[in-house]
Amino acid sequence: MNRKFVIAGIVILIVGVGFFMGYKLTHREDPVYPEIEHAVMYADTSSFPTFLQMVDLVKNDVNTPKLIFWYRMTSVLSQDEPLLKNAVIVKTSSSFKMQKDLKKLRRTIFKFMQTYPNAKFTLHLNKDQNALVWAFLTLIPRERIEHIHWYEESFGATSFQIGYIRLPKEHALPILERKNPPPHFGINYALSLLPFYPSTIHMGLKDFVLEKYPEIKKAFAAAQTIDDVDYLKIAASLTDEQKQNLLRLAGVTPQDLLPFKEGKPVLLYTLGFFADDKQFNQAQINIMNRLLSGEIVPLKSPENYTWLFKEHPWLTKSTFLRDQLQKKWPFMKPLPKQIPLEILFLTGYMPDKVFGYSSSLFFALPPERILFYIQRRNDVYVPLLKQSGILTDDKIISLGVKHVSE
Best CA proximity match to 285, nearest among 313, 324, 330 = 324
Mean pLDDT value across residues 367-386: 86
Least confident of 9-18, 147-156, 340-349: 9-18
Query: Can you tell me the distance from the alpha carbon of 355 to that of 148, in angstroms, rounded to the nearest whole number?
Result: 35
Q: Report which DSSP code applies to 187.
A: S
Question: For residue 50, what pLDDT is reported?
Answer: 92
Q: Is the pLDDT of residue 335 over 50?
A: yes
Q: Which residues contact 134 (CB under 8 A, 6 or more apart)?
A: 175, 176, 178, 181, 182, 189
Residue 243's alpha-carbon distances to 40, 128, 234, 263, 353, in angstroms, are 21, 28, 11, 21, 22
pLDDT at site 378: 77
Q: Are 112 and 69 in contact (CB under 8 A)?
A: no
Q: Give me the helices (H) in 28-170, please.
A: 47-59, 98-115, 130-137, 157-160
β-pairing verdict for 199-203 and 225-228 = parallel
Tell me what pLDDT residue 276 has: 61
The tens digit of pLDDT for each residue in 305-316 reads 999 998 877 766
**Do 188 and 127 touch, CB atoms closer than 8 A?**
yes
In this prediction, residues 182-200 reach a mean pLDDT of 84
- The CATH fold of domain 38-249: Rossmann fold (3.40.50)
More confident residue, 349 or 212: 349
Percent of the chain with pLDDT over 90: 38
- Residue ranges, comma separated, of all CATH 3.40.50.11110 domains in the chain are 254-398
Rounded Cα gap, residues 237 and 59, in angstroms: 9
Q: Taking 50 as the threshold, does the pLDDT of residue 25 lie above it?
A: no
Q: Where in the chain is the domain with CATH 3.40.50.11120?
A: 38-249
Region of 199 (left: φ > 0; alpha: ψ -120 to 50; beta: rest) is beta
Please, what is the end-to-end C-alpha distance for the chain in angstroms?
77
Look at residue 265 and tell me whether its pLDDT is greater than 50: yes
Give the lowest-confidence range in 72-86, 94-108, 158-172, 340-354: 158-172
Using a 10 angstrom Cβ sphere, with 0-12 exposed, 13-18 middle and 19 or more buried, the burial of residue 300 is exposed
Q: Is the pLDDT of residue 264 over 60?
A: yes
pLDDT of residue 405: 42
| Cα–Cα distance, 239 to 248 (Å, whole number) | 14
What pLDDT, on the 0 to 100 scale, is given for residue 370?
Answer: 93
CATH domain 254-398 topology = Rossmann fold (3.40.50)
d(CA 77, CA 91): 9
Report whether pLDDT(225) > 80. Answer: yes
In whole angstroms, give the CA distance from residue 313 to residue 319.
13
Q: What predicted TM-score, i.e. pTM, was given to this entire model? A: 0.84
Say yes or no to pLDDT of 273 above 90: no
Report whether pLDDT(71) > 70.
yes
